[in-house]
Amino acid sequence: MAGVQSDPHFFEGTEKLLEVWFESTKGDDSFDLRNIGRLDWEHLLRIVRCEIISKSSSDDMDAYVLSESSMFITQKRFILKTCGRTTLLLAMEPLIRLVTEKCGDHKVVDVFYSRKKFAKPEQQHKIHRTFEDEVHHLDQLFKNGAAYTLGKINKDCWHLYMLEDVPGVKDPDQTIELLMWNMCPEKMKIFTKEVSEDGAEATQKSGIIDIIPGLQIDDFLFDPCGYSMNGILPGGYYITIHITPEPHCSYVSFESNVPQESYYDLVHKVLGCFNPEKFLMTVFSNKISIAKESHKHFEDLYRLKGYKRKDHQFCAFQNYNLTYTMYTRPII
């Protein structure tokens, strides 16, 4: 698997995250990405260098825990999040071919590709080694790509590629991500086989179980350490958490599309579970999302739960608003 690296003790927890929204060109209600079968997804994931560990489903979504993070499929939305040395962007063109073949004529109505700066970019495969390489690859597929970097480019930053002048998503849509590193060693021990027997025990002990009530949880504890979970709710909503507990490269990611007017309490709960020394947060919401006001709540938050804000940027894109913010504190 792509997690096996030249430095055996280092794991690149930082994920590449791709979200693609499709629509039938004929307004065909039977257009559904969930008509694509498991063998086809497995084939696509082989290109990315990861594999399916388990699957959970609701009426609205299929959610997969992968050897390197997660994949979520709804009627019109494809999300793939992969860490380690995976080659996620190699799947972009095959994905569009697969959707044409299995679901019929369609248009791509929006694309988002993002990731934090890698800890060891030199260990990535060529296509992902620099953001410029990634942008070059995507620009060959899309004429209307727009690439941004938020944060300090000589320190911690976050890259984003999206499309301009697209019809955009017609439904309310929002995503919050917290990417955390230099993690509290005590908290990280929970995500090892030494302390927890399986994923369910780690989910309980860490408090992940209480972040959002009522989730259908699919969790997995790697041997000897490492943890991934998907939690799904009716309506195509999810949370996903991935943990690299090794002390010299500790990293945790939290992502959710659950709509909330304010994400303040959710952020508090997530930080309480993991106690990172540093984290960056991104909040995306389109103009019809109830989360569209949530950006205001972060404007004046110079301090948050003992953390001090280092960066804060707000972007007003054509269809979405985005807050990028980075906080830090001494490890406790």
Ligand X SMILES: C[S@+](CC[C@H](N)C(=O)[O-])C[C@H]1O[C@@H](n2cnc3c(N)ncnc32)[C@H](O)[C@@H]1O
Positive or negative: CA dihedral 252, 256, 261, 265: negative
In the set 50, 67, 70, 83, the catalytic residue is: 83
**Residue 15 or 23 with smaller CB distance to ligand X:** 15
Our answer to whether residue 294 is catalytic in this structure is no
At its nearest, how many Å lie between ligand X and the CB of residue 110? 24
Our answer to whether residue 50 is catalytic in this structure is no
Dihedral class, residue 211 (left if φ above 0, else alpha if ψ from -120 to 50, else beta): alpha
**Residue 228 or 256 with smaller CB distance to ligand X:** 228
Quick note: the x/- pattern for ligand X over 1-40, rule CB under 6 A, is x-x-------x-x-x-------------------------
In the set 242, 253, 289, 294, the catalytic residue is: 242
Quick note: the x/- pattern for ligand X over 249-288, rule CB under 6 A, is --xxx-----------------------------------
At its nearest, how many Å lie between ligand X and the CB of residue 119? 11
For tokens 């690296």, what's the residue? 5
Dihedral class, residue 34 (left if φ above 0, else alpha if ψ from -120 to 50, else beta): alpha
Within its chain, how far is the Cα of 164 from the centroid?
A: 21
Which residues inside 62-101 make contact with ligand X, applying CB under 6 A? Answer: 67-69, 83-84
Q: In what order do the strands lie in the sheet with 106-116?
A: 52-57, 62-66, 69-73, 77-82, 16-24, 106-116, 157-163, 145-151
Which residues inside 193-222 make contact with ligand X, applying CB under 6 A? Answer: 222
**Residue 69 or 321 with smaller CB distance to ligand X:** 69
HSE-CB at 18 with a 13 A cutoff on CA atoms is: 21
Q: Examine residue 124 and tell whether it contacts ligand X (CB under 6 A).
A: no
Of 95, 109, 81, nearest in space to 254 by CA: 81
